[in-house]
Structure 1
Amino acid sequence: MENQNQVHVFATWKVKEGQVENVLNILKTVHDESIQENGNLFYKVHQSNSDKNIILLFEGYTNETAVAAHRNSSYFQNLILGHIVPLLDNREIVLATPVPYL
């Protein structure tokens, strides 16, 4: 049986020098699309205080199926994989399930 627990996504992106405004502009559309998804709980974009080229994403989804639907969406494929990833030096993603008793 599929895991029905909430899934949170923590992504850290190191943006190539001179590309952070381009990435943030594209992320505006990604954010607006993401929060309309049925399984999306939240989609937060952060920029590091110490290094403006580091973008952090904090996303919440109702379950693993919702994460997969997000990643398979046409806008994710086009905007994230097609446009943003080439503007990154590094991309780290961690999926986590909240600990219910803490």
Structure 2
Amino acid sequence: MNGGVINTIAEWRTKDGQLETVLKLLADVAEKSTEEEGNLFYTVYQSYAAPNTLFLVEGYKDETALDKHRDSAHFQGIVVEKIVPLLESRTVVRVSALNLDDFKKDE
């Protein structure tokens, strides 16, 4: 695990016909999230195979920064109140980057 840094990957599947609305709302959320003091990055990806599926990859300097993000007006007001009802499903996982050099075999 890498110190206090917290990374999350969210998979959002939008309901049919809601992708454009979600993306417009998400543009505002992403802008406000990257302005947060503890935000390290906020990147949104779209699936080629399933265009209604979005992946949000986010990094925060520590648990406190992630909690502040989740408690923020833009997260509560836009994500929770406006975006979540437009989603078919939503999964969020916390991940930690691995240094694969630590797993190399001795030669």
Does TM, scored on the shorter chain, surpass 0.5?
yes
Contact 1:7 1:98 in 2 (8 A): no
**CA positional deviation for 1:30:** 0.3
Cα 1:101–1:52 shift into 2, 3 Å: closer
- What stretches of structure 1 of length at least 5 have no aligned partner? none
Partner of 1:79: 78
- What stretches of structure 2 of length at least 5 have no aligned partner? 102-107
Structure 1 stretches of at least 4 aligned residues deviating more than 4 Å after TM superposition? none
Contact 1:12 1:92 in 2 (8 A): yes
- Structure 1: distance between partners of 2:13 and 2:34: 23
**CA positional deviation for 1:99:** 3.0
Look up the SS of the partner of 1:65 in the other structure: helix
Partner of 1:55: 54
Alignment-mate amino acid for residue 59 of structure 2: G
C-alpha RMSD of the superposition: 1.5
Contact 1:6 1:98 in 2 (8 A): no
Q: TM-score, structure 2 length as denominator?
A: 0.88
- Structure 1: distance between partners of 2:83 and 2:99: 34
Identity of aligned residues (%): 40
Q: TM-score, structure 1 length as denominator?
A: 0.92
Partner of 2:104: none
Higher-Rg structure is 2
Listed as ranges, the matches of 1:8-23 within 5 Å are 8-23=7-22
